[in-house]
């Protein structure tokens, strides 16, 4: 064999071995096992008592903390008694394990009441991700949490910090999620209205003196609704992993008197840029670095405001607590009001500032093997307005699509017939023109 390899080939082989040895990430990581029980419990995350879905008694659920290449196993018992459950691992690519993606009706069947199911998948990229329910509107009832994947030992990121912390932002409605869902599918459509509060890592505050609120359901002194506290040591730098799982609210997050340096967006390292307000939309995650470099004799407000819609929801507030001040000591200042809801300039500036970090650019292929066109439209179907892709709107199938595909059950797809008066061909043409490979 060696005879066929000349000097330069040998060098190439040596180089190839070297490159593979040093660039292929370690395949075998550790197995991280989680045991979860999902059930309904009365919770008062914003002082108002209502049913929430918890994991091991908590909402948000336990964080999944792993290193790149680790295998996550989640043994989930569905104790909701009368409802199915499915968990989607948001941002995890599920390479080789699409059946563990947790999108009920698409990749797998949901977990039936009383059943236990074991999800098993590899977290192959470092970064900040989320998990959330993917059955009905269970996510809005509190079934969600964070996934934090760090680099393997000995590898470093293109920034440094002393500690990290995950924070999930959500909007919280007092109406049950059934009421919300029934409104969405009613004709005419009924919107549940503005959320009653914003939760920061599962904690918010609703004004119990609001007229019409039943006194025994709302208590301002309930310890469940004390503000979320982020304790920091003066002069240390913190990586805040911020995710949003709101139902329908764009948010602005800020920490009074502190700038934030954005270093990661949706699991990708980005060129660093500094913001006063971080704008975040549902399903997104960011990592920002914050240094505790202000007067350490007091605490500061962290504030979350709804933007892009003129909402009357009170801003969500947390306490940015400088150790050793008392964690629940209110800052001496009025909380920052946040940007005006329709001030689009800083939002646009943030979007424009997001660029792949120079050391982590993966250029797309120069040409494509195949062009797939997916026009995304809103169609009127039986007096309902429904989102469609390629003129097909999603209907919950009896057989999950991935299973139908595997068993060649093509009738299980049951697409809507092409709609009359819909200029489908023209859209295809426009898209072909725009996306024709070079
Ligand atoms: Cu998601």
pLDDT tens-digit profile, the chain (438 residues): 233 333 344 344 444 444 434 444 545 789 999 999 999 999 999 999 999 999 999 999 999 999 999 999 999 999 999 999 999 999 999 999 999 999 998 899 999 999 999 999 999 999 999 999 999 999 999 999 999 999 999 999 999 999 999 999 999 999 999 999 999 888 888 999 999 999 999 999 999 999 999 989 999 999 999 999 999 999 999 999 999 999 989 999 999 999 999 999 999 999 999 999 999 999 999 999 999 999 999 999 999 999 999 999 999 999 999 999 999 999 999 999 999 999 999 999 999 999 999 999 988 899 999 877 677 777 777 777 778 777 677 777 888 888 888 888 877 765 555 555 556 556 544 444 333 333
Q: Is residue 81 domain-shared with residue 181, that is, in the same domain?
A: yes
Q: Is residue 389 domain-shared with residue 359, that is, in the same domain?
A: no
Last residue of a domain, one of 309, 328, 363: 363
**What pLDDT is recorded for position 434?**
38
Q: Is residue 352 domain-shared with residue 263, that is, in the same domain?
A: yes
Record the pTM.
0.87
**Per the domain annotation, does 131 fall within a domain?**
yes
- Tens of pLDDT, residue by residue over 277-335, are 999 999 999 999 999 999 999 999 999 999 999 999 999 999 999 999 999 999 999 99
Q: Is residue 315 domain-shared with residue 401, that is, in the same domain?
A: no
Q: How far does residue 69's CA lie from ligand 1's centre (Å)?
A: 21
Q: How far does residue 397's CA lie from ligand 1's centre (Å)?
A: 20
Residue span of the structural domain in which 430 resides:
376-435
Q: Is residue 185 domain-shared with residue 316, that is, in the same domain?
A: yes
Q: How far does residue 137's CA lie from ligand 1's centre (Å)?
A: 12
Last residue of a domain, one of 310, 338, 363: 363
Q: Is residue 331 domain-shared with residue 399, that is, in the same domain?
A: no
User: Total domain count for the chain?
Assistant: 2
**Per the domain annotation, does 15 fall within a domain?**
no
Q: How far does residue 343's CA lie from ligand 1's centre (Å)?
A: 27
Q: How far does residue 88's CA lie from ligand 1's centre (Å)?
A: 6
Last residue of a domain, one of 313, 337, 363: 363
Q: Is residue 313 domain-shared with residue 354, that is, in the same domain?
A: yes
* 3-class DSSP string for the chain: CHHHCCHHHHHHHHHHHHHHHHHCCCCCCCEEEEEEEEEEEEECCCCECEEEEEECCECCCCCEEEECCCEEEEEEEECCCCCCECEEEECCCCCCCHHHCCCECCCECCECCCCEEEEEEECCCCEEEEEEECCCCHHHHCCEEEEEEECCCCCCCCCCCCEEEEEEEEEECCCCHHHHHHHHCCCCCCCCCCCCEEEECCECCCCCCCCCCCHHHECCCCHHHCCCEEEECCCCEEEEEEEECCCCCEEEEEECCECEEEEEECCEEEEEEEECCEEECCCCEEEEEEECCCCCCCCEEEEEEEECCCCCCCCEEEEEEECCCCCCCCCCCCCCCCCCCCCCHHHHHHHHHCCECHHHCCCCCCCCCCCCCCCEEEEEECCEEEEEECCECCCCCCCCHHHHHHCCCHHHHCCCCCCCCCCHHHHHHHHHHHHCCC
**Per the domain annotation, does 176 fall within a domain?**
yes
Q: How far does residue 7's CA lie from ligand 1's centre (Å)?
A: 52
- Residues with C-beta atoms within 5 A of ion ligand 1: 90
Q: Is residue 134 domain-shared with residue 33, that is, in the same domain?
A: yes
Q: How far does residue 426's CA lie from ligand 1's centre (Å)?
A: 31
């Amino acid at each position: 064999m060696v005879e066929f390899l000349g000097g330069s080939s040998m060098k190439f082989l040596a180089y190839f071995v070297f490159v593979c040895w040093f660039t292929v990430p370690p395949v075998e990581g550790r197995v991280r096992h989680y045991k979860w029980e999902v059930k309904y419990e009365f919770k008062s995350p914003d002082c108002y008592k209502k049913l929430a879905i918890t994991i091991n008694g908590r909402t948000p659920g336990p964080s999944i903390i792993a290193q790149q290449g680790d295998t996550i196993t989640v043994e989930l018992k569905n104790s909701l008694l009368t409802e199915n459950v499915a968990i989607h691992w948001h941002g995890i690519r599920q390479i080789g394990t699409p059946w563990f993606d947790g999108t009920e009706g698409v990749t797998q069947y949901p977990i039936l009441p009383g059943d236990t199911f074991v999800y098993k998948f590899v977290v192959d990229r470092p970064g900040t991700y989320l998990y959330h329910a993917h059955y009905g509107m269970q996510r809005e009832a509190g079934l969600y949490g964070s996934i934090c994947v760090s680099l393997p030992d000995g590898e470093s990121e293109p920034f440094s910090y002393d500690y990290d912390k995950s924070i999930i932002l959500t909007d919280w409605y007092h109406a049950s999620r059934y009421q919300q869902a029934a409104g969405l599918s009613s004709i005419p459509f009924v919107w549940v209205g503005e959320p009653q509060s914003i939760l920061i890592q599962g904690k918010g505050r609703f004004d119990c003196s609001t007229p019409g609120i039943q006194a025994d359901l709302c208590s301002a002194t309930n310890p469940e609704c004390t503000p979320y506290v982020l304790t920091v040591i003066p002069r240390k730098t913190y990586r805040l992993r911020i995710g949003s799982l709101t139902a329908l609210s764009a948010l602005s997050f800020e920490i009074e008197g502190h700038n934030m340096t954005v270093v990661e967006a949706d699991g990708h390292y980005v060129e660093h840029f500094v913001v006063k307000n971080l704008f975040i939309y549902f399903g997104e995650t960011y990592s920002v670095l914050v240094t505790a470099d202000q007067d350490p004799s007091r605490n500061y407000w962290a504030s979350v405001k709804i933007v892009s819609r003129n909402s009357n929801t009170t801003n969500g507030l947390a306490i940015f607590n400088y150790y050793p001040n008392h964690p629940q000591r209110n800052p001496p200042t009025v909380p920052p009001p946040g940007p005006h809801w329709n001030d689009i300039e800083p939002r646009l500036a943030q979007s424009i500032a997001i660029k792949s970090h120079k050391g982590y650019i993966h250029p797309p292929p120069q040409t494509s093997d195949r062009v797939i066109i997916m026009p995304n439209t809103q169609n009127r179907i039986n007096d309902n307005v429904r989102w469609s892709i390629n003129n097909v709107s999603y209907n919950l199938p009896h057989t999950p699509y991935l299973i139908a595909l595997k068993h060649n059950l093509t009738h299980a797809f049951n697409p809507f017939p092409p709609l009359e008066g819909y200029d489908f061909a023209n859209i295809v043409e426009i898209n072909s023109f725009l996306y024709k490979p070079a």
